[in-house]
Amino acid sequence: MFYYWAGHLRAISFSVTGIILLNFSVADIVFPDIEDPGLGLPPILVPEHSKLSKSIVKLGEKLFFDKSLSRDGSISCATCHVPDQGFTQNDKPKSIGIDDKIGRRNTPTLLNVAFAESLFSDGRSSSLEEQAWQPILAEDEMGNLSVSEVLDRISADNKYQNMFKGSFGEKSINKNNVAVALSAYQRSLVSGGSAYDRWYYESEADAMGPSAQRGYQLFAGQAQCWQCHQIAGPGVLFNDNLFHNTGVSFRSHKLGLSEDLGRYEITKLEYDKRSFKTPTLRNVALTAPYMHDGSLSTLEEVVKFYNNGGSDDPLLSPIMGSLNLSENDIKDIVKFLHALNGDSPVKD
């Protein structure tokens, strides 16, 4: 139902061949309905200081796929947030940025990021606008040393000059408008209308098969998943916008990875140690590998991890515990998770 995929594919093939993106027209875009962006989703909230329009989304799309946003022209946002890998990177537990620098964490999906109340797995950013320049300036991501060098490169491109003028007016290539455009594009990446949504919200009895339906019963009951990946309400993201210690970081550290204290790095509160943001589970079957450090490769491994009660972290969330799920129960929950794949932002 939403519809930028054709644009994505074109953008990718053009940047591969090094040709400038000429072939964009606003006609490609079916703009998301802000009030009703898709079955099972809440309305899109655009912050007062930001803007969402077709032309701004189009501009944001061009920026998102543009490698010249990185210091040496090697990396775009889409290098790590790959559209046909659920806007993540399926082959990399941790992101790889400029000069092959390995990042600290796994690349999260940008599908439905419009609804996130905080960003990054430690919640250190509170809006897409605030977040946008962080990867551009991070030394292990796009590696620029200053905002102005990036704005200079954008300003040198006639196409950008016209697009900024059309969207924001004369002399409008500045730090804020780049952030607004990148945010607008990301806010358009909404994906609802999954098999689960049709089953649950529209009572379409066979939208989900019997195994996924059993998986749902377990998810919402014995397996306790709903306590953090919340499912009540007319529009849900299967998260609670909170931070929990599920034992992942403690386990990974024991296995030899460097320690990641998560939310604690921001709040310095003892009980936040090794806590991470509850991620959305919409489209999760597209976004392997899993967890903040990509340390679990498949959904089956994730459910087994929960079945064993996480890890023996002394600060483990009290919600976590052994679940007594059978092999079949685990399969059913995985089936249910697959039923959360939504309409992709693809134009047929």
Chain residues that interact with ligand HEC, rule: CB under 6 A: 75, 77, 79-81, 95, 97, 103, 105, 107-108, 110, 113, 116, 119-122, 128, 131-132, 135-136, 141-142, 182, 186, 223-225, 227-229, 244, 246, 248, 276, 278-279, 281, 284, 287, 290-292, 299, 302-303, 306, 317, 319-320, 333
Cβ at position 206, least distance to ligand HEC in Å: 23
Cβ at position 279, least distance to ligand HEC in Å: 4
Per-residue burial over 113-144, b = 16 or more CB atoms within 10 Å of its CB, e = otherwise = bbbbebbbbbbbbebbbebbbebbebebbbbb
Cβ at position 348, least distance to ligand HEC in Å: 26
Cβ at position 13, least distance to ligand HEC in Å: 19
Nearest CA-CA partner of 51 in 26, 39, 63, 34: 34
Q: Are 62 and 78 in contact, with CB atoms under 8 Å apart? A: no
Residues forming a β-bridge with 244: 276
State the residue for tokens 């400029």: 98
* Pairwise CA distance, residues 339 & 268, whole Å: 38
Cβ at position 68, least distance to ligand HEC in Å: 12
Instruction: Tally the residues of the chain.
Output: 348
* Pairwise CA distance, residues 155 & 162, whole Å: 10
Of 202 and 227, CB closest to ligand HEC: 227
Extract the tokens encoding 83.
């559209």
